[in-house]
Amino acid sequence: MHVTTTHSETQSANQLQVTEPRNPGMALDMDWVRRVQANTSAIERRCATLPGRRSIKKDHQAAWLLKAISLIDLTTLSGDDTERRVHRLCAKARQPVRAEMLEALGMPGLTTGAVCVYHEMIPAAVSALQGSGIPVAAVSTGFPAGLSPFHLRLQEIKESVSAGAAEIDIVISRRHVLEGNWTALYDEMAQMREACGAAHVKAILATGELGTLRNVARASLVCMMAGADFIKTSTGKESVNATLPVSLVMIRAIREYFEVTGHRVGYKPAGGISKAKDALVSLSLIKEELGDRWLLPDLFRFGASSLLGDIERQLEHHLTGAYSAGYRHAIG
């Protein structure tokens, strides 16, 4: 499997959703939702075979890892975040790998897909990324639990957009899924989508708290019906985050939605993806299930922070034949 990523392709792809029309959503189709099932044993067997079947080496691996960098939402979501930390993160987003390495790899000017922060840090991120073309994403709606009053969650979205966020990562109310209240989930998602205005909305399902893969599949479909631009696995704060079975279920929901409506919805695995090999497996799954169109930043993102450091370390090994210490590739 070989992907060649050009500098011009990466630069154009880093502009927010310039080539793909937004998902307008549709009326809630409860017959479709009820038909959705998930064969857990078959899903797990499919996922268990993937890492062994897709072994990517040498130049091909380097190309895929460069592709992965362009798809990262470089993230800091800590209670002790400061403007200086966000500025350092944005500098890393602008220059994710040392300049001489990118020159040697033929990819000068490569950047990450976005920078993701809390609302309070949006102005610092917008200022630090000015002129780069890298969008700022903000987590919103009472992240990570999503249990604040609903009118405040909507207001938080609006304030984040006003502050300069081009993408909003919202969290759904998990109880709607666990109770099978799909109308409530649809209405909530639709109102959040409306509150985002021109900003693109990523619906975080918190899949580790939804109980079953069938619930994950149905929640994915309902959020897309309500107009989500992306569906995202996790907040990164749950005990179980972006597993391969969850990814497969959500990706196939995206494929089915596209086949029925003609509208492409993006996918963002987040939480627990910290190694380059994990990114390669995820990209292989996307290519096999959705195709190359979903391998651009307007339709796929990794929610990660430490992932970039490991990718940089692997790229240095590709160029020099030696592994460097992890601390040489700090993020912030």
CA 100, distance to chain mean position in Å, is 28
DSSP string, 36-101: ----HHHHHHHHHHHHHH----HHHHHHHHHHHHTTEEEE---TT--HHHHHHHHHHHHSSS-HHH
Give the tokens for residue 67. Answer: 């592709």
Verify whether residue 237 is a known catalytic residue. Answer: no
- The one catalytic residue in 73, 229, 268, 278 is 268
Verify whether residue 277 is a known catalytic residue. Answer: no
3-class SS of residue 200: strand
Is the backbone of residue 56 left (phi > 0), alpha (psi -120 to 50) or beta?
Answer: beta
Verify whether residue 169 is a known catalytic residue. Answer: yes
Give the tokens for residue 113. Answer: 């897909």
Cα–Cα distance measured from residue 186 to residue 235, given in angstroms and rounded to the nearest whole number: 20
- The one catalytic residue in 67, 92, 169, 202 is 169
Cα–Cα distance measured from residue 158 to residue 192, given in angstroms and rounded to the nearest whole number: 9
- The one catalytic residue in 232, 278, 298, 310 is 232
Rg, C-alpha atoms of the chain = 19
Q: Using DSSP bridges, classify how beta strands 302-304 and 167-171 pair: parallel, antiparallel or unpaired.
A: unpaired
Cα–Cα distance measured from residue 39 to residue 178, given in angstroms and rounded to the nearest whole number: 18
DSSP-derived secondary structure letter, 226? T
Cα–Cα distance measured from residue 62 to residue 110, given in angstroms and rounded to the nearest whole number: 14
Cβ(35)–Cβ(249) below 8 Å: no
Spatial strand order of the sheet with 167-171 comes to 266-268, 230-232, 200-204, 167-171, 136-139, 114-117, 72-75, 302-304
Instruction: Cite the active site residues.
Output: 169, 232, 268
